A and B are shown apart, each in its own frame.
Chain A
Amino acid sequence: MFFLFLFFKDFAKDRYGVSVMVQSQQKLDRVLVRVQDLTPEKADQLIWLRARIHTSRAKGKQCFLVLRQQQFNVQALVAVGDRASKQMVKFAANINKESIVDVEAVVRKVEQKIESCSQQDVELHIERIFVISQAEPRLPLQLEDAIRPDGEGEEEGRATVNQDTRLDNRVIDLRTTTSQAIFRLQSGVCQLFRDTLTKKGFVEIQTPKIISAASEGGANVFTVSYFKTSAYLAQSPQLYKQMCICADFDKVFCVGPVFRAEDSNTHRHLTEFVGLDIEMAFNYHYHEVIDSITDTMVQIFKGLRDNFQTEIQTVNKQFPSEPFKFLEPTLRLEYTEAVAMLHEAGVEMGDEDDLRSACITHLYDTDFYVLDKYPLAVRPFYTMPDPNNPKYSNSYDMFMRGEEILSGAQRVHDPELLTERALHHQIDLEKIKSYIDSFRYGAPPHGGGGIGLERVCMLYLGLHNVRQTSMFPRDPKRLTP
């Protein structure tokens, strides 16, 4: 009986297997087709492609595979016939999930749409399959679990993946369609920010992150050892943006990391995040600055609305939320008006953020608005006081879905007033001497503000935790990966 096996020679053994490690041994003149381009137009063509094994399922003489490339996937089939042997089918069924494979296949049209794949009108009939990079058999998390909406998981008793597991195995978690969509959208935000400001005549600058004095004051600053002394990691590019204005750059913006040593373990705080900061000189009134900033934000929202619908829908599948609404020009109310709105609703000062934003959203139907003229006492020392009422200041906050995303103001550009305000806030003048000096040689009136990239993305998409929009987040409890 043993001898019978000798007769079952594998006629397909050249058409499958594990490849040697790609060490650039040869230059193959081979075109690899992208999964997203697999449409009925390519029917009956023989193509090569490289993708990951998303799932594999053997069924008798056939093996069904789903091959995945970023947000796109396609069904593929290895069937015993004149091109594939039983051993080849068995090999295909046993390739570990997430392994990267090179596949030569014929594209075939299907009569019934394949609902579970992004490419619904075609499937691949595999003739050759080689493993380029093998994945270990036991994955720390399953991708289908990672994109399952939380509610669905509970209802059907299936697993979902909690945030810590995702963050500990970020490389795999980032492969999900949802993560791919989120970070592509984030890249879009950055690009729209740069493009809009550049069109308005702004210049992009880079500011130092190792600095000698805490810029915002207070204790929330990281210290680093700097040769024989110590230095700090910048809490914001504030001081340098302003020095650039005094250096006649007129309108500047910068994109870079911001470090805040706040021991806050909340859904919207990170110890390191990407700050998008703006500063500009204005002619007569700081509302010119507000108009510029709000117009930039509106252009970003429009760009996302018009060009990233696929990504927004993908994220909504796992995390449903209302689409982001805004007005153009942006709604601007005064701080005292917002307080009055709350009094009208019968609420005293206290836990009023949600109620205020609910009032405003209900009346104007917008998720983005500006509150102008904050009280002076709650703002940093370099904020310009209101000319008519010393209790208030020329400062403003901007909100998305009721949460603050930007704090800005007209800055004090007069060295005497700046010194007086610093003393009032009990700041050591020696530490900010070079900052004050930069205003002594003619400084234009100016103002600005800064947003956090992660927070803006989180609020635009209606997500609930800023760690979902930070690739490798840093918070008081997390330093890796």
Chain B
Amino acid sequence: MPMFQVKPVCGGDVKIDLPTCMYKLPNVHAQQGNSCSSEHALQNGEVDPAVKVLEARQDEILRKLYELKAAVEGLAKTVNTPDADLDVTVSSSFSSQSSSSTMLKGSTDLDTLLGKDLGALRDIVINANPAQPPVTLLVLHSLLCQRYQVLSTVHVHSSVSNVSPQLLSCLGPRHPDSYARHLFQLGFTLIWKDVPKLEMKFSVRNMCPIEGEANVARFLFKLLAPYPSDHAAATLVDSWVDTAFFQLAEGSTKERAAVLRALNSALGRSTWTAGPEFSLADVACYCCVLRSGSAASVPANVQRWIKACENLGHFGPAKLLLQ
């Protein structure tokens, strides 16, 4: 748009005498020399090609990083989920079970069951009252010693004063290598203590204590063999264990007689209490039958079964203690 012109007010070339007593600064507004042009964006917003290349490389690297991160997260999910591992081992152990008449089968791995060995002996600590010795646990201890290298110790806690020598030696003689704890896979520490109910402690950090002889027996038996894969069979075992501890050991004379009759008929149908295989039910029933004191007057099948148990060879310490 044309504007009206005004004549210049003053001439273009006015001579100014710059003072020499002040210091000089370079002119901020003057154009720089050609040698520095690559560091600045040019006037019209275009970006220097070298910078563009740099940016492209950066974007590429960031994209690759994001891809890697996603991949690692995916891996972490699959590795950390406990079910992933356990399903594999459990299903393999189930498939390997056959119905032969060996006593204990099934692959069990201490690391899977009890957690990774971190350098401290995996010690099972059982606090029991000397007035009620946990006979089933002694049988299970004997079975454990057959399968693993077990360091067994018996202690007396300061809360009790007099414990019979029989109870002190109930886990058998001291292992000759017992001074070298690291040679053993498992620790079995029995402490005679003034406790109202039997309790077992394993890993203070990962597990709360387990109370009651039946429950501790279940835990220990899992270290020897898994429960039967058939849920009905597993429930049968559990039911016999509870019957043994509640009705056979603590019940009235009538209850005990009823249980013995039931046991007799069960043993008429199968070799062992809960089916064709030896199980925790047999250990529990044997100990509770003997503890109830009626071992002499039991029905025929039960008598035969008692002898069969004793022939297996791990019920010695229990029988000794209950006499």
Which A residues contact B (CB, under 8 angstroms)? 285, 287, 301-302, 305-306, 323-329, 331, 333-334, 336-341, 343-345, 359, 362-366
B156 within 8 A of A: yes
One digit per residue, 1 when the CB lies within 8 angstroms of any chain A CB and 0 when it does not, for chain B 294-317 equals 000000000000000000000000
One digit per residue, 1 when the CB lies within 8 angstroms of any chain A CB and 0 when it does not, for chain B 110-131 equals 0000000011110101010000
Q: How far is the CA of A337 from the CA of B181 in the complex (A)?
A: 9
Known pairs A301-B158, A325-B158, A328-B156; A344 contacts B120 (CB<8 A): yes
How many residues of B sit at the interface, in one of the four size bands? 20 to 34
Interface pairs A-B: 5 shortest CB-CB: A340-B119, A340-B120, A327-B155, A337-B120, A328-B156
Q: How far is the CA of A52 from the CA of B193 in the complex (A)?
A: 45
Query: What residues of B have a CB within 8 angstroms of the CB of A363 in the complex?
Result: 123, 125, 201, 204
Tell me whether A334 and B181 are in contact (CB under 8 A): yes
Smallest Cβ-Cβ distance to A340: which chain B residue? B119
B279 within 8 A of A: no
Query: What residues of B have a CB within 8 angstroms of the CB of A366 in the complex?
Result: 157
B171 within 8 A of A: no
Q: How far is the CA of A93 from the CA of B159 in the complex (A)?
A: 48
Known pairs A336-B119, A337-B121, A365-B193; A331 contacts B155 (CB<8 A): yes
B38 within 8 A of A: no
21 A-B residue pairs with Cβ-Cβ distance under 8 Å, sorted by A, are A285-B179, A305-B158, A306-B161, A324-B158, A325-B158, A326-B158, A327-B158, A328-B155, A328-B156, A329-B153, A331-B155, A334-B181, A334-B182, A336-B120, A337-B120, A340-B120, A344-B205, A362-B204, A363-B123, A363-B201, A363-B204
Which B residues contact A (CB, under 8 angstroms)? 118-121, 123, 125, 127, 153, 155-159, 161, 179, 181-182, 189, 191, 193, 201, 203-205
Query: What residues of A have a CB within 8 angstroms of the CB of B153 in the complex?
Result: 329
Tell me which of A305, A337, A365 contacts B119 (CB under 8 A). A337
Smallest Cβ-Cβ distance to B153: which chain A residue? A329
Smallest Cβ-Cβ distance to A301: which chain B residue? B158
Q: How far is the CA of A338 from the CA of B181 in the complex (A)?
A: 12
Query: What residues of B have a CB within 8 angstroms of the CB of A328 in the complex?
Result: 155-156, 158
Tell me which of A324, A343, A364 contacts B191 (CB under 8 A). A364
Determine how close the nearest CB of chain A comes to the CB of B199; give it in whole angstroms.
10
Determine how close the nearest CB of chain A comes to the CB of B179; give it in whole angstroms.
5
A-B contact sample (8 more), CB < 8 A, given A325-B158, A328-B156? A287-B179, A327-B191, A333-B181, A336-B182, A337-B119, A337-B121, A364-B189, A365-B157
Smallest Cβ-Cβ distance to A367: which chain B residue? B158
Query: What residues of A have a CB within 8 angstroms of the CB of B204 in the complex?
Result: 359, 362-363
Determine how close the nearest CB of chain B comes to the CB of A326; give it in whole angstroms.
5
Smallest Cβ-Cβ distance to A337: which chain B residue? B120
Q: How far is the CA of A287 from the CA of B201 in the complex (A)?
A: 27
Query: What residues of B have a CB within 8 angstroms of the CB of A326 in the complex?
Result: 157-158
Query: What residues of A have a CB within 8 angstroms of the CB of B157 in the complex?
Result: 325-327, 365-366
Query: What residues of B have a CB within 8 angstroms of the CB of A325 in the complex?
Result: 157-159
Known pairs A363-B201, A364-B191; A341 contacts B120 (CB<8 A): yes
Q: How far is the CA of A201 from the CA of B156 in the complex (A)?
A: 25
Q: How far is the CA of A324 from the CA of B157 in the complex (A)?
A: 11
Determine how close the nearest CB of chain B comes to the CB of A288; give it in whole angstroms.
10
